[in-house]
Amino acid sequence: MNLTLQSIIERIQQQDPLHAKKLKRNLKNLSSDYETKCNFFLEKYQNYLSSSNKSLENGVDNYLKMIADFMYEQLRFSETGKYSSTSFEEVNKRVYNNPEVMDYFMNGLLLSQVLWKHHYSIFSFFSQNFPKYKNNIYNYLEIGGGHGLFISEAINVLGNNTKFTLVDISPTSIEVSKKFIGAHPVEYVLSDIFKYETNTKYNFITMGEVIEHVEDPVALLNKLKELLAPNGVIFMTTPTNAPSIDHIYLFRNAQEVIDIIQKAGLEVIEDIKVYAEDLPEEMAIELKVTMMYGCFLKLK
């Protein structure tokens, strides 16, 4: 079967017409590279499904199950103004070390990278700006690789001249990444990043949607500084007002993220913020709509 974005949305529409309508609306006015990047993703996603013995139906079922989780967490967040999880120990037991939960959740997140406007826009921002740094990248580290999309793009840009390392705390995430990335040599390390020790200094570190999963974001950024080579660059993303089964630290706006970055002794080179809904910013702020913040960082 030759996967297309339309075939995925049509399958979603069969089970959840309202959500499919929302997807179509939010995907209308994306950047000009969307079709190219979407085709890159779909080719790898089709190979991933095949190597995982999964069908598109499985992928869509997992995606919709993840959506149901998000809706439940959003309702609780609307009532309390807080995330439901408060400690890493709690999330690690309930999510990261639960293969059944991680399997559907990571597969759902994988599809969201091209179905959600804010996820895709962050990926596009990374793809457009990452090549600026390629001539100085000999060691690339990805923390919390999850679905493997960003490191796949880095491999596409850097090729065989760079050593790639992916560190993740979840065995399921590593397996998903392995199958999505494919045959390219990557060192996969199953570890809590705080416990990861190496003599290597990395020229480029990617950490997508990880900082909201820890209790002390400054400590995590300080760990990245230890791993970063002189003149190295970090690409980091995190959401604001984004209740999820595994989110701990609540950022309410982009400035709160920037404050944490500066407190850790890092400086923003360039950044982007994208709201999950296609609304005027004033309304999105008032309604506490989820916003994705992405940035390239360097040492102060």
pLDDT digits (tens, 9 = 90+) for 64-98: 999 999 999 999 999 999 999 999 999 999 999 89
Structure letter (DSSP) for residue 213: G
CA dist., res. 108 & res. 259, Å (int) = 31
Angle of the 5-15 helix axis to the 99-115 helix axis, nearest 10: 120
The answer to whether the beta carbons of residues 170 and 96 sit under 8 Å apart is yes
Percent of the chain with pLDDT over 90: 88
If you average pLDDT over residues 176-181, what whole number do you get? Answer: 93
Query: What's CA 126's distance to the chain center, in Å?
Result: 11
Judged by average pLDDT, the poorest of 97-106, 195-204, 263-272 is 97-106
266-275 β-sheet, strand order: 187-190, 163-168, 139-143, 202-208, 228-240, 291-299, 266-275
Diameter over CA atoms, the chain: 52
**Overall average pLDDT of the 171-189 stretch:** 93
- pTM strictly above 0.85: yes
3-state helix, strand, coil in the chain (%, to 5): 55, 20, 25
State the pLDDT confidence band at 1, using cuts at 50, 70 and 90: low
pLDDT in tens, 111-158: 999 999 999 999 999 999 999 999 999 999 999 988 899 999 999 999
Identify residue 188 by its one-letter amino acid code: Y
Rounded CA-CA distance 3/111 in Å is: 12
> pLDDT > 70: what percent of the chain?
99
140 forms beta bridges with: 164, 204
Q: What is the bridge-based pairing of β-strands 228-240 and 202-208? A: parallel
CA 59 to centroid of chain Cα atoms: 17
Residue type, 174: I
The CATH superfamily holding the domain 1-300 is Vaccinia Virus protein VP39 (3.40.50.150)
Q: Where are the beta strands (DSSP E) in 17-154?
A: 139-143
**What does the domain layout of the chain look like in residue ranges?**
1-300
Which token pair is 281?
């910013």
pLDDT at 2 over 80: no
- pLDDT, mean over the chain: 94
**Residue in 121, 111, 106 with CA at minimum distance from that of residue 20:** 111
Both tokens of residue 50? 């095949």
